[in-house]
Amino acid sequence: MKIPSFKNPIARGYTRGTLYALILTLAGVLLFALFVKIAGMSDSAIKPIVQIIKAISIFVGVSVAIKSIEKRAWLHGGILGLVYTIFAFFALSIIDSNFGITSGFFIETLFAISVGVASAMLIRLRKRDA
């Protein structure tokens, strides 16, 4: 599958960042599911680990997306977190055959936006110190 070429560097960054984050999330969750199946982990540990996988994925996606962005990287990080949440919701809804929006979706959205903003700020601070 060929990814369309965008002339706008911001659109290209969002597309690449979102794809990286979604692919990393899918790979991480599948590997974790395999580990849970083999190790027989308790159900109470699954949700926090999945949240950590999502946070790492968003961080990677934001780092890819804001490479060409000079100003307001924190805003673009938050937008990428929102875009990631929407695409992840649709992907998981198709897999689960359930398109219901619950209060959990809004909490997930706020979490993703917060992680996106924090990631962009950390990346910019580190870039400024280097």
Tens digit of pLDDT for each residue in 46-89? 888 889 999 999 999 999 988 877 788 889 899 999 999 998 88
pLDDT value at residue 105 = 84
Q: Which residue has the higher pLDDT, 33 or 41?
A: 33
Residue that has been written with the tokens 């680990």 in this structure: 49
Tokens describing residue 71: 């100003």
pLDDT value at residue 110 = 94
Torsion sign across C-alpha atoms 64, 70, 76, 81: positive
Tens digit of pLDDT for each residue in 2-19? 555 567 777 788 888 999
Q: What DSSP string describes 109-127? A: HHHHHHHHHHHHHHHHHHH
* Helical H segments across 1-130, by residue range: 9-39, 46-65, 73-96, 103-129
pLDDT value at residue 53 = 93
Which pTM was predicted?
Answer: 0.85
